[in-house]
A and B are shown apart, each in its own frame.
Chain A
């Protein structure tokens, strides 16, 4: 594999024990400020022994985490084509401006006169999100995409309560992310699944069949998790609205639509953004992200509080909203993440459309490059991601999981696997716009080589990855022995 265009893996990786295995009693890693005031003793009945934590020097801590970091794959390491996760490059200027002391060191309960810059930043980001979607109002409070979803469904729930009659069901296509039914269930709605047609989209007929006056609305991801645009969306929205329902737009795949689609025209009443997907903020190994929501006139009164208001040059926080769903967070949202999101929208500006175009181009380039090598269950036109599966390789006993693990040896993060559930053994590939042609060519070459290996040497593929610190950890054992804590 050494002559290939894909990077492969070789490197210097150190073994590293657990923190407490490295610790040595008596070490300390922190500088303690001077005792410039008298000591004050609390009553002994209130205090306990010092907490059990490992004793390490600063150097120990740096070595430990530097070594651990080398066992991780990040976007800065290489191509990370996780479908529906939009693992694009995270610009470094975003990090630089987010750590400005005038943002980082500001307490959220300072008087408003001291928070003008922070409030302005939030206001401006709201405006950018509205410009990108054609919607009416925004809230930056949700902490992540799933909480943005919850905010949306809570608003729909509050809307129906306000109208005087609560409803019991929520429509969602079978391609929906797991967070959709979970968010609906948190609001007491029973999910009503809708199947796709043979073209991979939901049809107005299918919606007409299930929509009734006991259904609160629909949760629609567009493009859906097959990467296919739900082209009947406007008609579907009309069917929902005609029966008094509302349309929740899941914005997980907004990277396919920037500069092309007017969310308001799709008939969407509320949509969430995943700023850690579409707007380039880092995913941090699992968060924190942010999940702002944009709404139309119908749902504006129900937005979470506090809201940011602008009057003249002054910004203020507004709590006066009698129909609000309430608060979702201790303070105003994941501010430091929102700073990065605004840095991105301001860097890209109208060229957000270029990002979308290249993202869609890259996905289609991979689709063209792997057609014939992997089974393509939905050959229809698709946007920012493409879904193959392992139907061809299964004949030789090689599964999606094996293909994913073999990719690791080739120097790529695996795609999303076994999702969406509507495709057996799905390999969901989303390259994003920030991969170069050379990287895409390398990925295609690697995938083709694996397809070939699956025929000529399936046992090899099943015995991967070979160059990582660990290989195929036993998940069943983990769940059975349930060791969730060390010493």
Chain B
């Protein structure tokens, strides 16, 4: 076996050094009653067999030009990013508990925290959560620590339904309650009826139907009610163009960052962003990297405020998170550094342009906007009658014509969610529109 290097002679000499006759003698502490009866029934593959087996599975996923977003967005990944992110010093290292041999990861995460905080207009970003859904759940739990006497939170109906479900999974055993804020006819959340006794309102922008929410109005409503404003997002690219949530008055911003240099990968692993203000930093969960100096006065970076975390505080910790999404955070940092201020703005603008072009084409083909509202790269359209069947036929032609919103929202039955990004060429969009018409 190529991953195991002992020769029979080495094995013998090691067993002699230990003082046992054979390897099985090292397992005498395992009682008979709990042993496996037979060898594990998996046949070892050669590298050739393995590659063929995996290529067959990969090829069984059909490639298509997909106009899909809804929490996972296809963006161009510059070639140099996976190349340098794949360096084994980054990929094969552990959590940076020993700072002297982890300065590469630590500085990179400090830079990630800085760029993420700047992108979202916030003071503090943590070193990542698993994904946007988990960042959402952790943000919700965080609001109960900041508003000690509350046990309820209000969330917009147009938050990503999977994020809300994830939050409810976390809430179930603790008795926390989530109440829904309704949607206005223009596709924006109704902030006029924030219920009493909630810790916060959570609103996603652009929301699940693609509508850019009025975050300043959300902030005003939250302040009047004396509750926190949590802003969530599924499409980090939007902040290349839109007014950032921090400047609109958000107290906590959470979301999904895998639009930045991370392939779709059938939806995972993602990259959770979680950010807050400096005064609330002791309530944030997840790892934090801080700047310090070493014994010789050199600038260096370490994990800090670890006393919040499970390995120190155990059952008193605010979260059980340990492993996070570190390598995806590194990748996203590389993407932000690569795009830079102007690059990110240009790509974000192009996303909106492509989506506007697709939307105009669909309108010509008989689709009607579900909402008269501003959007970024995603929008909902009422489809002509019989489109469900047409959708299936288009899949066979290599197009995925959006996502059925009725799957999640009975009130939007017959409406479909479309997304276009910088990866969709005019040629592809035109070819698709020709098929739809």
Contact = CB atoms under 8 A, between A and B. Distances in A.
Nearest to B19: A368
Interface in A347-403: 347-355, 357-358, 360-362, 364-365, 367-369, 380-381, 383
A91 B3 contact: yes
17 contacts: A36-B427, A50-B341, A70-B89, A71-B101, A109-B71, A118-B266, A121-B54, A154-B169, A276-B323, A285-B96, A287-B327, A327-B166, A337-B268, A346-B53, A434-B4, A436-B5, A484-B290
A255 interface: no
A472 B98 CA distance: 9
B353 A484 contact: no
B365 interface: no
A113 B61 CA distance: 8
Contact of A102 (B11, B58, B346): B58
Contacts of A114: 61-62, 64, 395, 400
B292 A331 contact: no
Given A72-B101, A187-B173, A485-B124, A349 B340 contact: no
Looking at B10, B34, B87, B243, the one whose CB has the most chain A CB atoms below 10 A away is B34
B305 A479 contact: yes
A259 B39 contact: yes
Interface string B61-76: 1111010101110101
A232 B73 CA distance: 50
A378 to B, nearest CB: 12
A304 B58 CA distance: 25
Contact of A107 (B39, B66, B95): B66
A104 interface: yes
A413 B311 contact: no
A310 interface: no
Nearest to B78: A30
A343 B119 contact: no
Interface stretch (B40-48, B149-157, B195-203, B220-228): B40-48
B127 A286 contact: yes
Contacts of B287: 286
Interface in A455-470: 465, 468-470
Contact of A234 (B10, B34, B84): B34
B247 A143 contact: no
Interface in A252-285: 257-262, 265-266, 274, 276, 282-285
A6 to B, nearest CB: 15
A74 interface: yes
Question: Nearest 7 A-B pairs (CB), nearest first?
Answer: A102-B58, A331-B267, A284-B327, A286-B326, A108-B267, A117-B60, A349-B44
Contacts of A38: 353, 356-357
Contacts of B268: 108, 143, 288, 329-337
A202 interface: no
A181 interface: yes
Nearest to B240: A51
A362 to B, nearest CB: 8
A178 B310 contact: yes
Contacts of A42: 212, 241-242, 352, 374, 376
Nearest to B327: A284
Contacts of B70: 109
Contacts of A116: 60-61
Interface string B119-134: 1010111011011111
Interface string A107-144: 11111011111101100000010011010000000011
A90 interface: yes
A58 B80 contact: yes
A176 to B, nearest CB: 8
A330 B72 CA distance: 9
B321 interface: yes
A282 B64 CA distance: 30
B172 interface: yes
A224 to B, nearest CB: 11
A423 interface: no
Contacts of A285: 90-91, 93-96, 102, 105, 108-109, 326-327, 330
A48 B247 contact: yes
Interface in A42-70: 42-43, 46-48, 50-56, 58, 61-62, 64-66, 68-70
Contacts of B427: 36
Contacts of B320: 146-147, 149-150, 179, 182-183, 185-186
**Interface bin, chain A:** 35 or more
Interface in A427-451: 433-434, 436-437
A248 interface: no
A90 B130 contact: no
B337 A29 contact: yes
Interface stretch (A77-85, A207-215, A239-247): A77-85
Given A72-B104, A146-B323, A46 B242 contact: yes
B189 to A, nearest CB: 15
B343 interface: yes
A158 B168 CA distance: 13
Given A65-B90, A190-B315, A284-B328, 19 more contacts: A28-B339, A35-B353, A40-B356, A48-B243, A61-B80, A73-B101, A95-B86, A109-B70, A110-B64, A113-B395, A146-B322, A154-B173, A276-B323, A288-B327, A332-B267, A352-B40, A357-B24, A361-B11, A434-B3
B426 A36 contact: yes
**Interface bin, chain B:** 35 or more
Given A42-B352, A107-B72, A348-B44, A330 B395 contact: no
Nearest to B15: A361
A477 B114 CA distance: 19
B142 interface: no
Contact of B39 (A73, A117, A353): A353
Contact of A350 (B18, B43, B107, B328): B43
A471 B295 contact: yes
B344 interface: yes
Interface string A85-108: 101111101011101111111111
B63 A77 contact: no
Given A36-B425, A330-B132, A473-B300, A346 B326 contact: no
Nearest to B118: A52
B337 A51 contact: no
A413 B100 CA distance: 10
Contacts of A350: 39-44
B291 A483 contact: yes
B422 interface: yes
Nearest to B421: A33
Contacts of B175: 188
Looking at A70, A157, A258, A289, the one whose CB has the most chain B CB atoms below 10 A away is A289
B90 A330 contact: no
Contact of B94 (A64, A85, A404, A477): A85
Interface in B351-390: 352-354, 356-357, 374, 376
A288 B70 CA distance: 22
A32 interface: yes
Contact of A287 (B58, B305, B323): B323
Given A30-B338, A62-B84, A187-B173, A482 B305 contact: yes
Contacts of B337: 19, 29, 53-54, 56, 61, 64
A265 B34 CA distance: 5
Contacts of A347: 44-45, 47, 50
Looking at A56, A76, A116, A179, the one whose CB has the most chain B CB atoms below 10 A away is A179
A96 B118 CA distance: 34
B84 to A, nearest CB: 5
